[in-house]
A = this chain, B = another copy of it.
Amino acid sequence: MSILVVGSVALDTVETPFGKRERALGGSATFFSFSASFFDRVNMVAVVGSDFPPDHIALLKSRGIDTRGLRVLDGKTFHWAGAYGYDMNTATTHSTCLNVFQNFKPEIPGEYRKSECVFLANIDPDLQMEVLRQIERPRLVACDTMNFWIEGKRDALLKLLGKVDVAILNEAEARQLTRQPNLVRAGRMIREWGPERVVIKKGEHGALLFGDGHIFAAPAYPMEEIVDPTGAGDTFAGGFMGHLSRAGNIEWNTMRQAVIYGSVMASFNVEDFSLDRMKTLTEKEIRDRYREFVPLSHFE
């Protein structure tokens, strides 16, 4: 299959206890695409400004990512600046300049409209819905979101959830959306709003996958050092959707494997800033780390 992703491409200025990077390549569509590109063909729809370094586009293309849907507009690229402290769980945002992303109206190129797998990264739920309308007959649609939309566009978000197969969100978002501290109940509630499968990402505590009468709990890969958590969630989603697209089915067991692949990819991404670790990643490293999850989580 092929995977369409619609989201942001950004320049991030990030500071963590391990250092600082200025205007490094980031954005939800970037992290997702790069991660998914290890599994299947990726078509990207996003927008950048005229200041966007051509090297970054070349990097995406080097992974076989189709960037015909990446529009370059007059103006500046979306820029986020933030910092993480020692616990690495929450970012402090210093500034968010939407720039050309402010008026992003995703138009899906004709050649992308037959994409079978669709990932609606975190953008306005009305735009996510607009994207869906442009896709001919997707076999699998997943979406992400964030606190900003849960708070400000709850109704649009609930409407969108009625149209997707998989909702992928983090622990805090799941609790905020359902107004429910218990994650098991939160997962069930979100499923009742539409998505047949729900993934709740819990950072260092792994991820939960909810299906019809089934739950799968995956640990995170044990890491002593997280250099930069930026993009971990989208990288997870890239591995997750990538594996489903490559496998060509959404059976429960394939879904469980997909959660592990998501965790594998996220664990690599946080080993360095921006895409620095992902740039050198090999398929063998992915396979090896995937196999490490067996003794980590299985018992006899």
Contacts from A to B (Cβ < 8 Å)? 86-88, 181-185, 188, 202, 204-206, 208, 214-220, 222-226, 253, 256-257, 259-260, 293, 295-300
A222 and B260 contact, Cβ closer than 8 Å, known pairs A217-B297, A296-B215, A296-B217: no
Q: Smallest Cβ distance from A61 to chain B, in angstroms?
A: 33
Q: In the A-B complex, list the 4 residue pairs whose CB atoms are closest, starting with the nearest.
A: A217-B219, A205-B205, A256-B299, A184-B222
* Complex alpha-carbon distance, A187 and B257, angstroms: 27
Which chain B residues lie closer than 8 Å to A183 at the CB level?
204
Say whether, besides A202-B205, A205-B205, A206-B217, A223 and B299 are in contact (CB < 8 Å).
Answer: no
Docked Cα-Cα span, A295 to B209, in Å, equals 12
**Are B86's CB and A184's CB within 8 A?**
no
Identical copies in the complex: 2
Contact residues in B for A260 (Cβ distance below 8 Å):
299
| Nearest neighbor of A252 in chain B, beta-carbon distance | B295
Partner of A216, one of B181, B208, B218, B299: B299
Q: CA–CA, A86 to B225, complex, Å?
A: 33
Out of B185, B206, B256, which one reaches A224, CB within 8 Å? Answer: B185
Residues of B within 8 A of A222 (CB): 184, 208, 215, 217
Chain B residues near A182: list those with CB within 8 A.
Answer: 223-226
CA distance A295 to B255 in the complex (A): 13
Which B residues are CB-close (under 8 A) to A296? 215-217
CB pair B295–A297 under 8 Å, yes or no, is no
Nearest B residue (CB) for A180? B86
In the complex the two chains form, what is the Cα distance from A171 to B297 in whole Å? 19
Assess the B204–A257 pair: CB atoms within 8 A: no
CB distance from A270 to the nearest CB of B (A): 12
CB neighbours of A181 from chain B (8 A): 86-88
Contact of A295 among B214, B220, B295, B299 (CB under 8 A): B214
> Which of A88, A182, A223, A296 gathers the greatest number of chain B CB atoms within 10 Å?
A182
